[in-house]
Amino acid sequence: MLRRVTAAPHPAPILFISNGTAEDLIGARLAGLLKGEIRYAPLVGEGRAYAAAETNRVGRVLRLPSGGFPFGSLDNLKADLRAGLIGESLGQWADAVRGARGAGAVVVVGDAYALMVGTVAARINQLPLIHVQPLLSAQYLDGLGLRGALRELNALGANLPMPYELRLARGADAVFVRDAATQRSYRRRGVQARFAGSFAMDVLDRPQRELNLLADRPVLALLPGSREDHRESLPVMLRAAALLPEVTALVAWPHDWGAVTLPEGWKLDIQSETEALTTGAGAGIRLLRGAFGAVARAADIAIGTSGTANEQLAGLGVPVIAFATHGPQYTGGFARRQGRLLGEALRVMRADPVVLAAEVRHLLASPSGQARAALAGLTRIGPAGALPVIAAEIERLAGNQINTWR
């Protein structure tokens, strides 16, 4: 398709389209590296991560009961349909087209659906299109097999790129993927994708504060995640940690204190906006808000029911133990997929505090097991460094041609 590109005297606005919490975070960090006006169209939720940058939201907010995982289960899909998924989603397509008017480029951070919305907005407005795909990985196919694929039919498009997504990606001006294995896979299918570094590690915060830990005790990070799974998973994690008096357990808590769900008989003492202490079963465990970077870098081992946070800990070389919830995100299928992605860096167990505590002890007593987990995580996630490369490519595509046809 021919596009007429005219450079403006000032940096043209850039429209970001993203559809998920992690995707919003990646988009917001990327937006912070760019000059000029940033517009954003979050397809799921409010896109709160963009608030940290000087950005302007375009279009409506779609709040989904599933938290953006309508195909995670049949119940998720039914709840989202009742919440107006179809009608509101169509409205978002029109919002994105309007938001791209006068922009210099459209940047999609998300899956095939987000890419469809971004492709329409970019083509109607004759703009360059950049796709940042942080979800798909060729490593999701490791050991999947036919039986596994049939069991995960609802996640087929999350396990491998569908033909329509590849076709859309071929029409993009730049495509960035999450790991080297996916770059090779895309290129075999005719998409000139690039792996410039790990998006997950790019958005991992530096340590925000000192944690004042005992030097002679291993640190167990508890990662209940940003989705509603935490209401089911946090009590299990706390009960497991209470069985491990030899470790220092820290909860990386991303929610308000009012969202804390405790095991029966436990109490919560809110000490400040950023720290609380929960006590029960003879244990006292700290919950820390706004300190994920510090907790992640202090951890020797983790128990997590999170998507990005589990991957970030693995990327730091920390073994992660996981268990499935009833959703909306960290279902059995999601846990299996993440297990294939992370290999020996992730161990998926039963949601039983006794089993989880035993696995923590087993790993802490096995230097060779820790070493294999660390190697798998470091290798499969890869190093940081993608976002500056992508930012430079966006600026090049948005403003390097004057009155030319492409």
pLDDT in tens, 31-50: 999 998 999 999 887 888 88
Read off the pLDDT of each residue in 121-130 and give the average, rounded to a whole number. 97
SS3 306: coil
pLDDT at position 221: 98
Query: How does residue 191 score in pLDDT terms, banded at 50, 70 and 90?
Result: very high
CA–chain centroid gap for 328, Å, is 14
Domains of the chain from N-terminus onward: 4-203+384-405 (3.40.50.2000), 219-381 (3.40.50.2000)
Does 298 have pLDDT greater than 50? Answer: yes
Does 132 have pLDDT greater than 60? Answer: yes
Q: Which of 75-84, 104-113, 226-235 has the lowest mean pLDDT?
A: 75-84
pLDDT at position 77: 66
Query: How does residue 403 score in pLDDT terms, banded at 50, 70 and 90?
Result: very low
pLDDT at position 213: 87
Does 119 have pLDDT greater than 50? Answer: yes
CA–chain centroid gap for 403, Å, is 38
**SS3 sequence of 165-223:** HHHHHHCCCEEEECCHHHHHHHHHCCCCEECCCCHHHHCCCCCCCCCCCCCCCCEEEEE
Query: How does residue 57 score in pLDDT terms, banded at 50, 70 and 90?
Result: confident
Does 236 have pLDDT greater than 90? Answer: yes
Read off the pLDDT of each residue in 156-184 and give the average, rounded to a whole number. 91
Structure tokens at 389: 């490369």
Q: Look at the chain and count its residues.
A: 406
pLDDT at position 405: 35
Query: How does residue 79 score in pLDDT terms, banded at 50, 70 and 90?
Result: low
- Give, to the nearest 10 degrees, the angle between helix 386-399 and helix 21-31: 60
Instruction: Answer yes or no: are the C-beta atoms of 262 and 253 closer than 8 Å.
Output: no
Does 60 have pLDDT greater than 80? Answer: no
Greatest Cα pair distance in the chain: 72
Q: How many CB atoms lie within 10 A of CB 370?
A: 17
Read off the pLDDT of each residue in 260-279 and give the average, rounded to a whole number. 97
Pick 142 or 296 by higher pLDDT.
296
Query: How does residue 149 score in pLDDT terms, banded at 50, 70 and 90?
Result: low
> For the chain, what is the mean pLDDT?
89
